[in-house]
Amino acid sequence: MSIDIANESGWDVDEESILDVARYALDQMRIHPLSELSVILIDSEGMEQLHIQWMDLPGPTDVMSFPMDELRPGKEGEELPQGLLGDIVLCPEVAKAQGLAAPSEHSMDEELQLLTVHGVLHVLGYDHEEPEEERTMFALQKRILDDWRSGRGLSGISPAPTTH
164 is in an annotated binding site: no
**Which DSSP category does 77 fall into?**
T
Q: Which of 80, 107, 99 is nearest to 26 (CA)?
A: 80
**CA distance linking residue 30 with residue 146, whole number of Å:** 18
Q: Which of 59, 125, 123, 126 is nearest to 88 (CA)?
A: 123
118 is in an annotated binding site: yes
CB 125 within 8 A of CB 70: yes
3-state secondary structure of 58: coil
Q: What one-letter code names the amino acid at 118?
A: H
Residue stretches of the annotated binding site: 118, 122, 128
Residue stretches of the annotated binding site for Zn(2+): 118, 122, 128
